[in-house]
Structures are given as structure tokens and as C-alpha cells.
């Protein structure tokens, strides 16, 4: 199957709604994301070299995933890259932040499934 055809079945209104939700979420929460990824994963602030290395690895990883048609979270990939550069540099990791990130990654899918189920039941009754 051609990767370009992978999302053809998704209605346009769904794509637009998801894009708006992601955009609004980023507009509201951007500072918290930036501070967490840039300052709270490691025990020291991210250096320019570490940031460049993490971004380069994220770019290659996301590009390969896109080529292969695999779903990835850009935030997950980048924060993993930042944590890796901190560990490789010996800067140390703030394990409470890493634990919270891992917990969020693990809980995202089941919580999304539960929310979708509840919304489906509610909308089915209303409409």
C-alpha cells in the first residue's frame, strides 16, 4: 500500500478537527512542554550541542517512521533524544520527570480509548 493512500479514508472534517485540536493544545501548553523538555529532563540545562544532537536524531527518526508508515509522537521522540543526550553527556537525569514522562506515555493510549468510548456512547444517544 502506498503511504500517501494510508489516510485517504479519513474524512476531511476529521483531519481539520484533529489539526485544530492539536494546534489549540500547543498554543495553550507550549511553555510547559518547552520547559519540561529543555530544562527538567536533565539535572543541568540543555546545551546547544545536546539540543542539536537531540533534534537531529528526532528528525531522522521521524523521517524514517514516516517513510515506513509508522505512527510516532514527535514529542516522545524528541524528549527521548534529550534524555539520551543528557545520559550520554553525564549530565544526569531527573528521574521524577523521566518517570512522569514514561507514565504519561503508557497511560495515553488506554485513556484515549476510554475517552473515545465514552464520547461515542454519549454522541450515539444524543444524535
Residue 40 within a domain: yes
Distance separating alpha carbons of residues 34 and 74, to the nearest angstrom = 13
Residue 22, domain member (yes or no): yes
Per-residue CA distances from 103 to 67, 69, 88, 119 (Å): 28, 25, 23, 24
> What is the pLDDT confidence band of residue 14, given thresholds at 50, 70 and 90?
very high
Domain of 57?
Answer: 8-94
Structural domain contains residue 119: no
Asked if residue 121 is part of any domain, the answer here is: no
Q: What is the pTM of this model?
A: 0.72
Quick one: DSSP state of residue 3?
Answer: G
Domain count, the chain: 1
Q: Does residue 115 register a pLDDT over 60?
A: yes
C-alpha 68/C-alpha 6 separation (Å) is 11
50-62, pLDDT tens digit by residue? 999 999 999 999 9
Question: What is the spatial distance between Cα 11 and Cα 118, in angstroms, rounded to a whole number?
Answer: 21
Look at residue 62 and tell me if it is in a domain: yes
What is the tens place of the pLDDT at every residue in 68-94?
988 888 888 999 999 999 999 888 899
Reduced to 3 states, what is the DSSP secondary structure of residue 72? coil
The answer to whether residue 44 is domain-embedded is yes
Asked whether residue 125 is domain-assigned, the answer is no
Amino acid at each position: 500500500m502506498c503511504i500517501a493512500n494510508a489516510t485517504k479514508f479519513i474524512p476531511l472534517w476529521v483531519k481539520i478537527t484533529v489539526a485544530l485540536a492539536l494546534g489549540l493544545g500547543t498554543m495553550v501548553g507550549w511553555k510547559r512542554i518547552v520547559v519540561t523538555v529543555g530544562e527538567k529532563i536533565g539535572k543541568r540545562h540543555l546545551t546547544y550541542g545536546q539540543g542539536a544532537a537531540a533534534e537531529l536524531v528526532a528528525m531522522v527518526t521521524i523521517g524514517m517512521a514516516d517513510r515506513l508508515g509508522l505512527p510516532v509522537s514527535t514529542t516522545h521522540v524528541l524528549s527521548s533524544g534529550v534524555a539520551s543526550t543528557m545520559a550520554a553527556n553525564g549530565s544526569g537525569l531527573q528521574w521524577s520527570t523521566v518517570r512522569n514522562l514514561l507514565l504519561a506515555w503508557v497511560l495515553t493510549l488506554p485513556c484515549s480509548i476510554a475517552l473515545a468510548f465514552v464520547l461515542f456512547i454519549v454522541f450515539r444517544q444524543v444524535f
